Chain A
Amino acid sequence: MTPVVAGVLGTLILLLLFMTAMPVAYSMALVGFAGFAYVINMNAALNLVARDIYSVFSSFGLTVIPLFILMGQIAYNAGISRRLYDCAHKLLGSTKGGLAAATVAACTAFGAVCGSSPATAATMAVVGLPEMKRYKYGDALATGSVAAGGSLGMLMPPSVVMIIYGILTEQSIGQLFIAAIVPAIYMTAWFCGAIWIYCRKYPEEGPAGEKYTIKEKFLALFELWETLTVFGMVMLGLLTGVFTPTEAGAVGAALILALALLRKQITWRGVMKSFYETVRTSCMVLFLIAGATLFGHFLAVTRIPFEMAGWIGGMDLPSWAIMGLIILLFLIGGCFIDAMALVMLTIPIFYPIVVKLGYDPIWFGVMIVLISQMGVITPPVGINVYVVQGIATDVPLQTIFKGAMPFLVALILGTASLVAFPQIVTFFPSLF
């Protein structure tokens, strides 16, 4: 059995294990371990398991995940998220799916302080899901919008994948960040469009609420002050260089905790509950990432990602077709492998080809973030979907994947429109 065959077989076994109700994180770790033992050897695989787990648990970049989740938990237990959604309801609730659209927009805004996609999805799930449920939103739409919203958080700078792309291709990270702002807002609009169409088809998923007068709406805005203060302080701190994006999670959590304690909105019990929920959810997310890392290392030694990328790169096709194939590879590859690993493995092969085809490197960087984010909501390995399910434990996984589907379609169509009209990406940075 060649490594490539072993890789395909391993993936099939993983799919089978997935359906046995065994936790996804455990399944990926198990198959990754066994596969690595087969392709390399048992001793190497045994050592790999311990090292991968420790390196994920002690990863500097991933510490933002527990801290942002903590921020969301405190906001929830202090009733801050409740007031936030009450306000959003008064402003947008009279439109079908209005709260889902507000959630998606909030994900994009939150992405401006958080550079990680699962962290955005987790935080927004903690904050938004109970509130959308309160306003009788369907599970599919509610969970789908936070899972998919996380991918917009990644597109909105700062963004981990974009920094990696910038270093890999020696492009200015600052230019990439500037270039990503407009597409992030543009894709948010596509997501809102998806919600609108979805709610026309399934009106019960995003019921319209009562109408409020202009005066009531105006007064509701004042309810936002606490959230806006914390958000504004974190943004300001980031922009003026008081702290780094990785530190933003800790600062945000501490600020919101201080605010809630000061205004006596949270009890000691509530604080403890927030912490316990945080470690529970963080453990789920990081074990998942550890499992995906192990499985990813197995796939890497089978060389499947390299072979596929080389195969596409070697084809003699018109430029749009090559772009299409690259998107397709990320779409399929993203079903099984972590976005960051996929970027690292394939960009060196694709980048020279894409530049030779005459595409703008900055534009391609934005595209890579977009298409790598499709994978976080596609089955079977859609990390954001799992993250959301770990928080909304009563919602079946299939429902979340189903709910994410309209957003996936929006992502694909939106991406295609950026291939057709690259100016949407390149115009804004050209002003600087």
Chain B
Amino acid sequence: MLDQLIDRMVGILKVLSAVCIGGTMSITCADVIGRFFGHPILGAVELGVLLAALALGFSLPYAHRQGAHVGVEILYMLLGKKGQAAMRLFTGVAGAALFAVIAYMCASYALDMKASGEVSMTLQLPLHPVIMVISGCFWVLMAVQIYEVIFSALKEIVS
């Protein structure tokens, strides 16, 4: 049940991420073609960059769930089954704490940006919503991480 819910959420974010990266590609190409004929798209660079930032945010839980991030297992391999589970618990909690810090601080950064009135250079788009979305993605990432820790490492230690 919880499993399905998480997969569902990660899946939706994955689709959003793909759409955003497609957006970056399309806007850049449209700008290149437009410029060739003397009509570049004003602010295409900004839009492309912001979409890419959103794409990376949305992809965080998916990449994590897919085990995309590279790790070294030299020490880990030397441990026994229980030891490995304990180490997973330790790194899992450390990771979740890191994501919580990032999520919280990104939210605070977004609020700072909102209060400061800072906007993008050419189109004058507000930047804080993008940072807020990235913050939200890190909260989801943290939830996924905690779920994984509880259901894999903890289970093994208890059994």
Q: Does A390 reach chain B (CB closer than 8 Å)?
A: yes
The CA of A21 and the CA of B72, in the complex, are separated in Å by 5
The CA of A26 and the CA of B94, in the complex, are separated in Å by 9
The CA of A159 and the CA of B110, in the complex, are separated in Å by 33
Q: Does A23 reach chain B (CB closer than 8 Å)?
A: yes
Q: Does B144 reach chain A (CB closer than 8 Å)?
A: no
For B24, list chain A residues within 8 Å (CB).
63, 66-67, 250
The CA of A10 and the CA of B78, in the complex, are separated in Å by 23
Interface stretch among A130-138, A271-279, A416-424? A271-279
The CA of A247 and the CA of B36, in the complex, are separated in Å by 13
Q: Judging by beta carbons under 8 Å apart, are A19 and B70 in contact? A: no
The CA of A102 and the CA of B77, in the complex, are separated in Å by 36
Q: Judging by beta carbons under 8 Å apart, are A254 and B29 in contact? A: yes
Q: Judging by beta carbons under 8 Å apart, are A283 and B60 in contact? A: yes
The CA of A397 and the CA of B74, in the complex, are separated in Å by 10
The CA of A119 and the CA of B11, in the complex, are separated in Å by 26
For B130, list chain A residues within 8 Å (CB).
58
Q: Judging by beta carbons under 8 Å apart, are A57 and B56 in contact? A: yes
- The tally of residues in B whose CB lies under 8 Å from a CB in A reads 55
Report which residue of B63, B87, B109 has the largest number of chain A beta carbons within 10 angstroms of its beta carbon. Answer: B63
Q: Judging by beta carbons under 8 Å apart, are A21 and B25 in contact? A: no
* Closest beta carbon of chain B to A290's beta carbon, Å: 9
For B90, list chain A residues within 8 Å (CB).
20
Q: Does A389 reach chain B (CB closer than 8 Å)?
A: yes
For B21, list chain A residues within 8 Å (CB).
66-67, 70, 275, 278-279, 282
Q: Judging by beta carbons under 8 Å apart, are B53 and A50 in contact? A: no
The CA of A288 and the CA of B90, in the complex, are separated in Å by 21
List 11 A-B pairs, Cβ < 8 Å: A20-B71, A20-B90, A49-B102, A51-B109, A54-B134, A237-B32, A280-B66, A282-B59, A283-B59, A284-B70, A398-B74
By a beta-carbon cutoff of 8 Å, the part of chain B in contact with chain A is 14, 17-18, 21-22, 24-26, 28-29, 31-32, 35-36, 45, 48-50, 52-53, 55-60, 62-63, 66-76, 87-88, 90-91, 94-95, 98, 101-102, 105-106, 108-109, 130-131, 134
Q: Which 9 A-B pairs have the closest CB atoms?
A: A23-B69, A250-B28, A19-B75, A283-B63, A50-B105, A275-B18, A21-B76, A279-B59, A22-B91
By a beta-carbon cutoff of 8 Å, the part of chain A in contact with chain B is 16, 18-26, 29-30, 33, 46-47, 49-51, 53-54, 57-60, 63, 66-67, 70, 237, 242-243, 247, 250-251, 253-254, 272, 275-276, 278-284, 286-288, 380, 386, 389-390, 393, 396-398
